[in-house]
């Protein structure tokens, strides 16, 4: 598939893949996890993604793995509605934007590439980043940038956006990035536009609600002994998963979740050197274990 996903060795290890098992890649993206799972053992994989471009990429795997692979074009938050309860021996989520999305200028995710302000993971979604940037009030913009990006200059950036759009609509990623950079000091660790772009993407795709619903649904799809692995990329995502893993219960208390990872696992130094995008990734894993009735 030409795509190497973040923390792949750690994901495969924690999924504990077995011959004859059934696994779910809930964020198919470029298909890197799916292909690696299928190559690891003689098992089957179901995959989910709301991105129509991901569906096109899935056809390549369908031709190779035939009946061992199934793809669903849908939001991962809906897996509880269209997948069978207690079906999977392992489930993986990767909450990052795929390299295919970031590296495709017309998708509008990256401030490093000049493209239309879009950021929608599904092209069917009604609201784009263009709509938010050009239509929301200064206060609403500031709240989004602060809450979803943890950007300390949120109000200053929101004011600059509103001043600029009063003269001309902001249409491209490059235009927005330059507006942000003009009112932000240079930062050694990341581009000044990073946090605002992150915030807009999370808001446009309702990512935090999707994660909360999707992870809770995934627990109900696990078989006893099945494992759920999540890879998150910032504290908001990780906090949601940490709290769900800590407090979730299952079926009247006769089964429970065991935290396989006592704390979030970071990528290796080698991976960070090879792929700087992985530096903020964190992995958590739980296992559904059956408990005898008390």
Q: How far apart are CA 232 and CA 11, in angstroms?
A: 12
pTM for this prediction:
0.92
Q: How far apart are CA 213 and CA 74, in angstroms?
A: 14
276-280: Cβ within 8 A, 24+ apart: 277/6, 277/96, 277/99, 277/102, 278/6, 278/7, 280/233, 280/234
Listed in sequence order, the DSSP H helices in the chain are 8-15, 32-40, 52-65, 79-82, 99-102, 129-135, 138-149, 154-167, 173-182, 194-204, 207-221, 235-247, 269-274
SS (H, E, C) 273-292: HHCHHHCCCEEEEEEEEECC
Average pLDDT over residues 242-259: 72
Taking all residues of the chain, what is their mean pLDDT, rounded to a whole number? 93
> What is the pLDDT, as a whole number, of residue 190?
85
Q: What is the pLDDT of residues 157-197, one digit of tens each?
A: 999 999 999 999 999 999 999 999 999 998 777 899 999 99
Q: What is the pLDDT of residues 196-219, one digit of tens each?
A: 999 999 999 999 999 999 999 999
Nearest to 46 by CA among 64, 57, 58: 58
Q: What is the pLDDT of residues 135-150, one digit of tens each?
A: 999 999 999 999 999 9
The H or E element that residue 89 is part of is: strand 88-94
Q: How far apart are CA 223 and CA 290, in angstroms?
A: 10
Q: Which domains does the chain have, with CATH numbers?
A: 8-100+207-290 (3.40.50.150), 126-204 (1.10.150.170)
Q: What is the pLDDT of residues 93-111, one digit of tens each?
A: 999 888 888 889 999 999 9
Q: How far apart are CA 54 and CA 98, in angstroms?
A: 10
């Amino acid at each position: 598939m030409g795509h190497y996903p973040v923390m792949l060795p750690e994901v495969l290890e924690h999924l504990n893949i077995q011959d004859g098992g059934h696994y779910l890649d809930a964020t198919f993206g470029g298909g890197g996890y799916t292909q690696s799972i299928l190559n690891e053992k003689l098992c089957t994989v179901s995959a989910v993604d709301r991105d129509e471009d991901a569906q096109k990429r899935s056809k390549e795997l369908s031709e190779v793995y035939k009946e061992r692979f199934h793809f669903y074009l849908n939001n991962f938050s809906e897996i509880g509605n269209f997948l069978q309860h207690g079906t999977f021996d392992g489930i993986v989520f990767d909450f990052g934007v795929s390299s295919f999305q970031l590296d495709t200028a017309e998708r509008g995710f990256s401030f490093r590439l000049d493209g239309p302000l879009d950021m929608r993971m599904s092209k069917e979604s009604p609201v784009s980043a263009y709509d938010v940037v050009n239509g929301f009030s200064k206060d609403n913009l500031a709240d989004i940038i602060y809450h979803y990006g943890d950007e300390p200059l949120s109000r200053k950036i929101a004011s600059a956006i509103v001043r600029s759009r009063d003269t001309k609509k902001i249409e491209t990623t490059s235009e927005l990035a330059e507006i942000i950079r003009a009112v932000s000091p240079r930062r050694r660790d990341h581009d000044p536009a990073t946090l605002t772009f992150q915030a807009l993407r999370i808001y446009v795709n309702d990512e935090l609600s999707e994660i909360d619903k999707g992870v809770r649904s995934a627990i109900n799809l696990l078989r006893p002994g099945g494992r759920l692995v999540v890879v998150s990329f910032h504290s908001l995502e990780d906090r949601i998963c940490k709290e769900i893993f800590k407090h979730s219960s299952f079926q009247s208390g006769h089964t429970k979740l065991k935290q396989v990872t006592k704390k979030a696992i970071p990528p290796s130094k080698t991976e960070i050197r090879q792929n700087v995008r992985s530096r903020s990734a964190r992995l958590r894993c739980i296992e559904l274990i059956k408990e005898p009735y008390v």
